[in-house]
Amino acid sequence: MDYSFTKFLNLISAVFLIFSLAACGNGQNGNVTDDPRSTHSVDGKKTYKDLVVGYSQIGAESEWRTGNTASIKEAAEKLGVELIFDDAQQKQENQIKAIRSFIAQQVDVIGVSPLTESGWDSVFQEAKDAGIPIILVDRRAAVPEDLYTSYLGSDFYEEGRRAARVMVDLLDGKGNIVELVGTVGSAPAIDRYAGFREVIKDYPDMKIIASATGDFTRAKGKEVMEAFLQLHGDEIDALYAHNDDMAIGAIKAIEEYGLRPGVDIKIVSIDAIRDAFQAMIDGKLNATVECNPLLGPQFLELALKVVNGEGAPKWIPSEEHIYFPENAREILPTRKY
């Protein structure tokens, strides 16, 4: 073969090899690739399929909480997020242990619904030192603001105020009220307690004659309401419950005592779960103030923004309403929790 022609073929082969290697290099560095397993966008930022999220949930103490958990899990599955989920079974020490486990696993972001407001400084500092942002979901924690990125959830104080305004209307500004308080030390219990009182202080003929924790559960709500009825009997004009589950437990106690819930004892509660709408349809509950648990999509959207270095407000409030018996039958089929 002619030497010049052989040299020309070798040159063509070398050029082809260089372009082939360059193309492979582009696929490996994540800038240009057709690999369907690629998890990075063109600009190098993470996508949902990159995201590894650790989530510490309080437990399953109420229908609200189970709805909240379902929302987070369903959103993660739909978006392709790797979710490491832990149920603390109503124990703060389990939540702290879970957060430390998330840190050891080097997750991208940690979500937590704190059981109580206090006791988080040390473990949150550990997360910060590891460079892992924390997002508070549903409940706040009493820590310096630099220890968490954002709080996504309700205005519990305003929920208490709304419940009080409804109660004022129901009682025409006069009556004896008993109160079922949520988990002691938790953000919703603290704020729903204070918000309610901030309104009724302007109505001297409205008095809270008994207040005790029902721990946000139906069983404890029934138990405590039974005690209220034994102590105060027919003196009780109304019940204010910090969540619907306690109110539903209390309804059973009132019926067993021989009184008519919603009639003899007016009842206002918070959360707006499906069972509360059924209780309103049945004439046993007078109003429920919404506290939206369906935070999964919003939480994961926020998590992705935080991991990619985008700005996030310190507090992202939920949009919520007050519901009454007259619309309960129409609205019930639309409720997702």
280 & 176 share domain: yes
Specify if 189 maps to a domain.
yes
pLDDT per residue over 28-83, tens digit each?
333 333 333 234 454 679 999 999 999 999 999 899 999 999 999 999 999 999 99
* Continuous H helices in the chain: 3-28, 63-79, 92-104, 121-129, 156-171, 187-200, 218-232, 244-257, 274-281, 296-307, 325-331
User: Domain count of the chain?
Assistant: 2
Percentage of the chain modeled with pLDDT above 90: 84
Q: Are residues 212 and 271 in the same domain?
A: yes
- pLDDT tens profile 108-149: 999 999 999 999 999 999 999 999 999 999 999 999 999 999
Residue 294 CB-density burial (10 A; 0-12 exposed, 13-18 middle, 19+ buried): middle
Residue 129 maps to a domain? yes
Same domain, 176 and 274: yes
pLDDT at position 1: 44
* Same-domain status, 67 and 133: yes
Q: Do the Cβ atoms of 240 and 210 come closer than 8 Å?
A: no
Residue found under tokens 């957060």: 99
Looking at the structure, tell me whether residues 187 and 238 fall in a common domain: yes
On whether the CB atoms of residues 94 and 102 are closer than 8 A, the answer is: no
d(CA 203, CA 234): 21
Within-domain flag for 187 = yes
pLDDT over 90 (residue 176): yes
- Structural domain including 119 reads 52-154+293-317
Contacts of 90 (CB under 8 A, 6+ apart): 58, 59, 61, 115, 183
CATH number at residue 229: 3.40.50.2300
| Closest of 249, 247, 251 to residue 260, by C-alpha | 251
Question: Based on the domain organization, do 197 and 278 belong to the same domain?
Answer: yes
Is there a single domain that holds both residue 174 and residue 285?
yes
Q: Are residues 229 and 307 in the same domain?
A: no
Rg (CA), the chain: 27
- Asked if the structure places residue 89 within a domain, the reply is yes
Asked whether residue 139 falls in the same domain as residue 173, the answer is no
Together in a domain, 100 and 125:
yes
Q: Is residue 19 part of a domain?
A: no
Alpha carbon of residue 209 to chain centroid: 31
Alpha carbons within 13 A on the beta-carbon side of 172: 0
How far is Cα 325 from Cα 147, in angstroms, rounded to an integer? Answer: 42
Residue 33, domain member (yes or no): no
| Strand-pair category, 266-271 with 82-87 | unpaired
Same domain, 254 and 267: yes
Report the mean per-residue pLDDT for the chain: 89
Examine residue 47 and state whether it is found in any structural domain, yes or no: no
**pLDDT tens, 211-260?**
999 999 999 999 999 999 999 999 999 999 999 999 999 999 999 999 99
So what's the pLDDT on residue 188? 96
Q: Are 165 and 313 found together in one domain?
A: no
| Edge-to-edge strand ranges of the sheet holding 238-241 | 206-213, 175-181, 238-241, 266-271, 287-290, 322-323
Contacts of 3 (CB under 8 A, 6+ apart): none
Q: For residue 235, tell me if it sits in a domain.
A: yes
Mean pLDDT for 286-308 is 96
pLDDT, residue 319, reads 79
What's the predicted TM-score (pTM) here?
0.81
